[in-house]
Structure 1
Amino acid sequence: MDRSTAAQSTGPVGSDRVLAVLKELARHPDGVGLEELTRVIASPKPTVHRALQSLRRAGLAQQDTRGHYLLGDEFLRMAFAHHEARPDHVRVRPALEALAERFGETVHYAVLDGHEVVYRAKVDPPTGAVRLTSTVGGRNPAHATGVGKLLLAHELRTTEDVEAWIGDAPLERRTPRTRHTAAELHEEFEAVRERGYALDDQENEPGVNCLALPVYAVSATAPSGAVSVSALTYRTPLSALIEAYDEIRSLLGPLGAPLR
């Protein structure tokens, strides 16, 4: 058995192959050829072609004038209709509940709105823990929060970007730990992009820290919001949240990862 045959023998079969082809099409908004699909799916060309034909009959795939395949209009219609019927905070809530139960701490989902973050969802721990005073619909300065710094890091890539975002009015220093200058924030944003999460080390409120991760509930490439596990420092120090990063990321599931 040669390498090609060996690779194809380990590929998906039946309905799994159709789903694998559908997922691969989603990674190619400009279309993808049959040869590349066959290679990536690791299945024989005739079977990949049959999967494509099944998807085309259902309107879930289509072929352009170059012979490349891409997601069909029917698939997009269903996806957008489903998306409109389920707001992002509704989709994120099961993950928030799992995180609150696992860590016994308050979990937020927030979005960026100019210089502030708006909390779209909040789940308090089920029992036992002290609950934070944050509310759904409440706001905080973006630069002083983990969720805000996480989202800003994806938008403000240079010092000039940060300076333009700050503008003429100085940023509020909520605590002595709050980073509030362009140089401080640019350095922080670079660190956020490198490690994949943001931290709030008592920068918004004394005695409270948090770890924030991106959520891809709307776009496959840019975070629509961020989730934070917020904790009282005496009970859950920041080092404990950092050590739990992989577990937090796992509990977020697919919402925590961009489409690659």
Structure 2
Amino acid sequence: MQHTETYGGPTDPGEDGPTGARGSRLVGSDRVLAVLKELARYPGGVGLEELTRVIGSPKTTVHRALGALRRAGLADQDTRGRYVLGDEFLRMAFAHHEARPDHVRVRPVLEALAHRFGETAHYAVLDGHEVVYRAKVDPPTGAVRLTSAIGGRNPAHSTAVGKLLLARELGTLEETEAWIGTAPLERRTPRTLCTPADLQHALEVTRERGFGADDQENETGVNCLALPVYLTSPSSPSGAVSVSALAYRTPLPTLIDALDEFRALLGPLGEPHH
């Protein structure tokens, strides 16, 4: 069967593949952006053959897209001929990230939390059914690799930050059922809350306590405590700050016992203004 020059045909995963959003065909600049997004998944570089296979578009099409990205400085080739993100892309990404007002304001708080608890601190926002990590600070020593990364995502229902922010939006079981929809919630660990009733109960508890907790529900061996922060609105949280800790060295009850210290380190950012 012959390949076509556009995504979404019989020989191409198209929008259901790793690069697109369902329901449309990638053409022109969309195709270039799809290659860029896929390229970002390979920090160690990727060859043309492999990139072509993963994207599912003709080699000539992928090669042209890479050429356009290289001319713009958004892609490059290493000494082995493998394609990597270009220095210009990295410059723009880091410059934008460092200049974001929320990142600038919240980073000192994350640094203080990471130093105090000796664990990783995050700032995350809610985006639909997921949380997006806007900032992350590892502790001075003893850092471990977590699933979180700046710009990365995790399911909202299995994270402390997600449940904390969802608790403000989903007040009834009917609202929680509508939010879940027809697709089942992902079970990240044996402790993940996956039924509407279980999640709704957790959200009610979260509202009562004023903080979000994740007891190894998103990642086995890792628990988390989260509090809201008010960076863009005096009354509605822009997101949440959390401490993600290894359960064996900082159990969840230890984090909860230190809640007053957590709040003190947040300072005015953790207080709504009416």
Q: TM-score, normalised by structure 1?
A: 0.66
Q: Please list every run of at least 4 consecutive aligned residues from structure 1 whose deviation after the TM superposition is greater than 4 angstroms.
A: none
Which residue of structure 1 aligns with residue 51 of structure 2?
none
Alignment of structure 1 residues 176-191 onto 2, 5 Å: 176-191=190-205
Give me the whole-angstrom Cα distance separating, in 2, the residues matched to 1:165 and 1:131: 31
Alignment of structure 1 residues 40-59 onto 2, 5 Å: none
Which residue of structure 2 aligns with residue 208 of structure 1?
222
The residue type paired with residue 171 of structure 1 is L
Give me the whole-angstrom Cα distance separating, in 1, the residues matched to 2:203 and 2:142: 35
Match of 2:183 among 163, 169, 173: 169
The residue type paired with residue 244 of structure 2 is S
The residue type paired with residue 161 of structure 2 is V
Could you tell me whether the CA contact under 8 Å between 2:148 and 2:154 is conserved in 1?
A: no
- CA displacement at 1:89 relative to structure 2: 2.0
SS in 2 for 1:217: coil
Alignment of structure 1 residues 1-260 onto 2, 5 Å: 87-260=101-274
- CA displacement at 1:208 relative to structure 2: 0.3
Give me the whole-angstrom Cα distance separating, in 1, the residues matched to 2:193 and 2:101: 32
Could you tell me whether the CA contact under 8 Å between 1:210 and 1:230 is conserved in 2?
A: yes
Task: Name the structure where helix makes up a greater proportion of residues.
Answer: 1
- CA displacement at 1:187 relative to structure 2: 0.7
SS in 2 for 1:204: strand
Could you tell me whether the CA contact under 8 Å between 1:199 and 1:212 is conserved in 2?
A: yes
Identity, in percent, stands at 76
Q: Which runs of 5+ in 1 are unaligned?
A: 1-84
Give me the whole-angstrom Cα distance separating, in 2, the residues matched to 1:139 and 1:248: 24
SS in 2 for 1:154: coil
The residue type paired with residue 208 of structure 1 is V
SS in 2 for 1:101: helix
Give me the whole-angstrom Cα distance separating, in 2, the residues matched to 1:133 and 1:169: 23
The residue type paired with residue 238 of structure 2 is S
Q: How many residues align?
A: 176
- CA displacement at 1:128 relative to structure 2: 3.4
The residue type paired with residue 187 of structure 1 is H
The answer to which structure, 1 or 2, has the higher relative contact order (CA under 8 A, 6+ apart) is 1
Could you tell me whether the CA contact under 8 Å between 1:171 and 1:181 is conserved in 2?
A: yes
Give me the whole-angstrom Cα distance separating, in 1, the residues matched to 2:143 and 2:184: 36
- CA displacement at 1:94 relative to structure 2: 0.7
Could you tell me whether the CA contact under 8 Å between 2:190 and 2:217 is conserved in 1?
A: yes
Tell which deviates more after alignment, 162-171 or 120-129: 120-129
CA root-mean-square deviation: 1.2
The residue type paired with residue 190 of structure 1 is E
CA offsets per residue over residues 92-138 of structure 1, 9 Å max, x none? 11100000011110000000010000000000001234343421001
